Amino acid sequence: MRQFLWPTIFFGLIWGASLYYVTSVGGTSPFGPLFIFAVFGIAFPAVAHVLTQGTQPYSTTWETSWLEPLAILFLLGLIVLYLIYGVGFVSGQAEALAPESDLALLLAQTGGKLVVFVVVPFILMSVVIRHPASSFGWQSPFIRMLNLRHLGLFVLLGGAFCAFQYFVGSGAQPIKDGLFTQQQLMVGLPIVFLWLIIEVGLVEEFFFRGILQARLAVFLRNEWAGLFIASLVFALAHVPGLVLRGAENGDPWLITANAILVLTAASITFGYIWMRTRNLLILMMLHAAGDLLPNFSHLSQTFGLT
């Protein structure tokens, strides 16, 4: 109980302070953030808990060394620098080489994220620290990750994510408005889903769950602390992009508070599923399902599908 209590209080204080800030300064109603947290921070993890009853998570490496905290700090610093300076540099180079090509820009940005969030961390943690790939949730042989119980979890929760985005969120509005033909949807949805498995699934889940949450749980000897701290870092990592896109009129404090309120809820869902399965592939697929409808319109046009 103590292992659950102190991380929950720590997270609750930060989340509560963020809610107070956006309601008092930003004038936002508290019901939206509370509803999202109730769904993604409580209901979906509860469903995942029920669906994984009687199963054991795949094994991970619980050994650590003095090098690991330094490696994690280095990776976090690298990611911060990339998000502040690297994204703009990569985008600028892509636009210079292929002006007005949305596809070239997307490929360049995704390639940059893969290097920073996947390739460098994998080399550092597997070659230098010498952790096996299974520590990051990648099982061998590959078929082990297609566990029937885990696949059932993906089907039910992935469907729930899509239903939430369609009926509650606004990201699926172009589809609801009938802007795409049935053929475009039948061809485009699978292609965009497969792309998102790499762009958001592999990029974000490998680092934030397979490395950050997993190793924090080891350092702190507390899986709940790993979950909540990684969720906060996950939310904060999105702040530079939101600032550059001009969200909340560019107010960094309001953007940060809103990111904590909304994105930590989604991260708690993914983080709890990681705790219950340690199956990276299932998390990649679930993350792609959650982002599918909001990103379909943009990506289908970028790929020339519509």
Other beta carbons less than 10 A from residue 179's beta carbon: 11
Q: What is the mean pLDDT of residues 257-270?
A: 94
Average pLDDT of the chain? 91
Per-residue tokens: 301: 């046009």
19-43: b or e for each residue (b if 16 or more CB lie within 10 Å)? Answer: bebbbeeeebeeeebeebbebbbee
How far apart are the C-alpha atoms of 190 and 28, rounded to whole Å?
36
Q: How confident is the model at residue 240 (pLDDT cuts 50, 70, 90)?
A: confident
> In this predicted structure, what is the pLDDT of residue 248?
65
Residues in the chain: 306
- The reported pLDDT for the residue numbered 198 is 97
Better pLDDT: 166 or 248:
166
Average pLDDT over residues 241-258: 78
pLDDT (0 to 100) of residue 238: 86
Backbone phi, psi, residue 251, to 5°: -75, 110
- Is residue 145 within 8 A of residue 279, CB to CB? The reply is yes
Provide the percentage of residues in the chain whose pLDDT is more than 70: 97
Grade residue 257 by pLDDT with cuts at 50, 70 and 90: very high
> Over 70: is that where the pLDDT of 246 sits?
no
**Mean pLDDT score, 75-97:** 92
Confidence of residue 284 (pLDDT cuts 50, 70, 90): very high
Token look-up 């979890």 returns: 153
pLDDT at 61 over 80: no
**Whether 78 contacts 120, CB under 8 Å:** yes
Residue 244 pLDDT class (50, 70, 90 cuts): low
Q: What's this model's pTM, rounded to 2 decimal places?
A: 0.94
What confidence tens digit (pLDDT) does each residue in 148-195 have? Answer: 889 999 999 999 999 999 999 888 899 999 899 999 999 999 999 999
When pLDDT is averaged across residues 250-276 and rounded to a whole number, the result is 92
List the structure tokens of 41. Answer: 């921070």
